[in-house]
Amino acid sequence: MLVGVLSSGDAAADLSEQLEYTHYDVPVHPGMSLRELLNAASPIRSNGGIYHAYTQWHVNWRYHAERLPDGRCGIDHEHTSLAVTMTLPAPTDPAIAHDPVFVTYLAALRRHEQGHYEIGRSAAAAIDAGISALAPRDSCEALGAAADALANARIAQARETEQRYDRDTGSGRTQGAWLN
């Protein structure tokens, strides 16, 4: 499900984004706590841990370089796109879906995952602005290498920021995304 697309109007730059929500079913099993239900249902598993939500983002960049009158190569236009998928739980039982504990927990999960989305969004904006602002180079190959190096460095920085964000928030615990 496409939630939103943004685009900048700058002639040299173009940034767009897509945010898609996906959900996994959380069936009812009598006698299980909400945490146990979510742990059993969650498809999100990493490094031996079970997570109840996950945000995955990917930045793609394209640019067109052109020869300038002085023989150097400059960016004519570029396009950066951000694709984000946020996965959240969706209980199949309305009693659970409307339970105040679950509603509060889901809001905290969304708030935490929104942080991951914003980190990806910042990376895409930095790539978009950075490639557009690249100074001309002696060759189009050198310009392309500079654009790719800039974009890859911004993505690496964003991944480090995400790791720090999870460490600082206890993967959402400090934001209320925690069940006993």
pLDDT, tens digit only, all 180 positions of the chain: 333 333 333 334 689 999 999 999 999 889 999 999 999 999 999 989 999 999 999 999 999 999 999 999 999 999 999 999 999 999 999 999 999 999 999 999 999 999 999 999 999 999 999 999 999 999 999 999 999 999 999 999 999 999 999 999 999 999 999 998
Cβ-in-10-Å burial (0-12, 13-18, 19+) of 82 comes to: buried
- What is residue 176's predicted lDDT score, i.e. its pLDDT? 94
Helix or strand run (H / E) with residue 24? strand 15-26
Q: Is 7 among the domain residues? A: no
- What is residue 2's predicted lDDT score, i.e. its pLDDT? 32
DSSP state of 134: P
- What is residue 110's predicted lDDT score, i.e. its pLDDT? 97
Owning domain of residue 76: 15-169
Q: Is 179 among the domain residues? A: no
Task: Give the total number of structural domains in the chain.
Answer: 1
Phi-psi region of 47 (alpha: psi -120 to 50; beta: other; left: phi over 0): left
Q: What is d(CA 110, CA 87) in angstroms, rounded to the nearest whole number?
A: 9
Residue 9 three-state SS: coil
Q: Is 104 among the domain residues? A: yes
Give, in degrees to the nearest 5, the angle at Cα 121 between 175 and 163: 50
Q: Is 180 among the domain residues? A: no
- What is residue 7's predicted lDDT score, i.e. its pLDDT? 35
For residue 4, the one-letter residue type is G
- What is residue 36's predicted lDDT score, i.e. its pLDDT? 96
Residue 30 three-state SS: coil
Number of Cβ atoms within 10 Å of the Cβ of 106: 19
Q: Is 5 among the domain residues? A: no
Q: What is d(CA 7, CA 105) in angstroms, rounded to the nearest whole number?
A: 32
- What is residue 14's predicted lDDT score, i.e. its pLDDT? 84
